[in-house]
Every structure is written in structure tokens, then in C-alpha cells.
């Protein structure tokens, strides 16, 4: 995804580390953006062009037996559901849709089908986990929560409500105050949970919640940042990147 490649490569590094630890071979293939920002802006022609280009690039990897994993729910939603609606009856796009999983969904399936490698340790202080809207839209259940509950002796408190960010809308300066107001109930609940870690599969939602918590803290201690659940899963394995920041 754009965010992982250019802003927070730690998400991708954690995903590859966890998969390697569990015997899964990975390759990084990123033809271009999934087009979610263009979809939100109503530019369907650009989204259709991206769908055709990316599905053509990823098709040979699927033919070689690779699964396709998206690290951010927005991207998984596009590949799984939005592209086949925008460009219907395209064999390459339909093949890609069937081969795509969200990273949390993939880890949960791996745990059920083959079992996970041993060595998971507790996430001390617990986790407040925000379920991203685009993860909910995939209609596969709370896979991030299922994944983190595989970590022993770790309290996972789930928040399933809009963060207020609203995709590309929330990055606009003129929308900031409204976005913070909409996200206030989530920030308030996350603060009251008093967990050591804040996590969301949507990096933008996580940043937004953390910022809202800081604005509301008033002397209370708030997490300095939000993590992607796969980053915490890597941490539970003891394979977090050296120097990675802690929860509080």
C-alpha cells in the first residue's frame, strides 16, 4: 500500500517477519495504488485503470501459487470487492479478488489450517484495538481481534466505531475540527481503557485516534502512537524491529 511503502514501512517489515517465522515465503510486489483516494473523489476511470493494471501485474504471481495479501483494509476492500463492481466480468480482476486476503485474515486462517509457530509472548499492559470501517466492510468478522487474541495472557479491548477520520476527507485541514469531534467517543473510550497499546488496522484511523486521545488526555497518559495489529503480533513473537517505539 502507499502508506506502508512510503510512510510506515514497519508494517510491511512486521508482516514479512511474522510470515517468515511461520514458514511462509513472501515477495514484495507493488504495481501501484489501489485507487481508494480516487474512488472517494469520484474518479472511477482512474480506479478502473488501476484495477486493470494491478490485476495484470499480480496475475502471474497467482498463477505461480502465491496468495495476495493486503496490509491495509482499504486496499483489501478495493481488490476484493470494489474493483469487480467497477470493472465487472474481467477475468484477471475476478481472479485477483478471489486470491486476496487482509493480513489479519491470513494469519487467522493460517493458525486454523496449519497452526502457528510457537513463541508468542504476552503484550504487557493490554491492547485497545480499533476495528477499521473498511475491515468491517469486508464482512469477514473481527479478524484483527481474532489474531491478537492468539497472543497469550494479553487483554484485548475492542472498539468498533468510526474514528472520525473518513479516509481522504479527514486529511483536509478544513475538516480537522469536525473529524476530531466525530472521533471523540472513540478517543474517550480508548483513554478510559487505559491499555498500554493502541492499535488499528487502518494507519490513518490509528493516527487520528491517538491525536484525539492526546487532545483529551488532560494530564492522563495516552499512547504516543498507534500500531498496526501485525506490528504487535511481531512484537509478541519478539521479532519487532530494533528500536521500534513502545506503547506508552
* pLDDT bucket at 3, cuts 50 / 70 / 90: low
- What is the pLDDT at residue 138? 86
Q: pLDDT band for position 4 (50/70/90)? A: low
Mean pLDDT of 50-72: 96
Q: By mean pLDDT, which of 16-20, 28-32, 144-148, 151-155 is the weakest?
A: 28-32
Closest CA to 222 of 185, 196, 189: 196
Rg (CA), the chain: 18
pLDDT of residue 37: 85
- Torsion sign (Cα): 97, 43, 178, 11: positive
Mean pLDDT, all residues of the chain: 90
Q: What percent of the chain has pLDDT over 70?
A: 92
Q: What is the pLDDT of residue 219?
A: 61
Task: Return the residue matching grid coordinates 504487535.
Answer: 232
Q: What angle do CA 210, 12, 47 make, to 5 degrees?
A: 85
Angle at 46 between CA 40 and CA 48, to 5 degrees: 100
Amino acid at each position: 500500500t502507499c502508506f506502508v511503502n512510503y510512510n510506515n514501512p514497519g508494517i510491511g517489515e512486521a508482516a514479512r517477519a511474522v510470515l517468515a517465522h511461520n514458514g511462509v515465503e513472501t515477495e514484495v510486489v507493488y504495481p501501484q495504488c489501489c485507487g481508494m483516494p480516487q474512488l472517494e473523489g469520484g474518479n472511477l476511470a482512474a480506479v478502473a485503470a488501476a484495477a486493470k493494471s494491478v490485476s495484470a501485474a499480480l496475475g502471474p504471481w497467482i498463477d505461480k501459487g502465491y496468495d495476495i495479501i493486503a496490509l491495509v483494509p482499504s486496499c483489501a476492500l478495493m481488490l476484493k470487492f470494489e474493483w469487480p463492481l467497477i470493472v465487472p466480468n474481467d477475468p484477471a480482476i475476478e481472479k485477483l479478488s478471489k486470491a486476496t486476503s487482509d493480513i489479519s485474515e491470513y494469519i487467522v486462517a493460517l493458525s486454523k489450517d496449519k497452526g502457528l509457530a510457537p513463541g508468542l509472548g504476552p503484550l504487557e499492559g493490554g491492547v485497545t484495538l480499533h476495528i477499521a470501517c473498511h475491515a468491517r466492510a469486508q464482512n469477514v468478522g473481527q479478524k484483527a481481534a481474532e489474531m491478537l487474541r492468539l497472543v497469550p495472557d494479553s487483554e484485548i479491548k475492542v472498539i468498533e466505531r468510526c474514528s472520525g477520520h473518513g479516509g481522504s476527507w479527514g486529511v483536509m485541514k478544513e475538516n480537522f475540527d469536525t473529524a476530531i469531534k466525530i472521533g471523540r467517543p472513540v478517543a474517550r473510550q480508548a483513554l478510559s481503557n487505559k491499555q498500554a497499546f493502541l492499535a488499528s488496522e487502518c494507519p490513518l484511523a490509528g493516527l487520528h485516534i491517538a491525536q484525539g486521545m492526546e487532545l483529551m488526555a488532560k494530564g492522563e497518559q495516552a499512547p504516543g502512537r498507534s500500531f498496526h495489529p501485525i506490528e504487535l503480533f511481531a512484537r509478541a513473537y519478539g521479532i519487532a524491529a530494533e528500536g521500534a517505539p513502545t506503547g506508552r
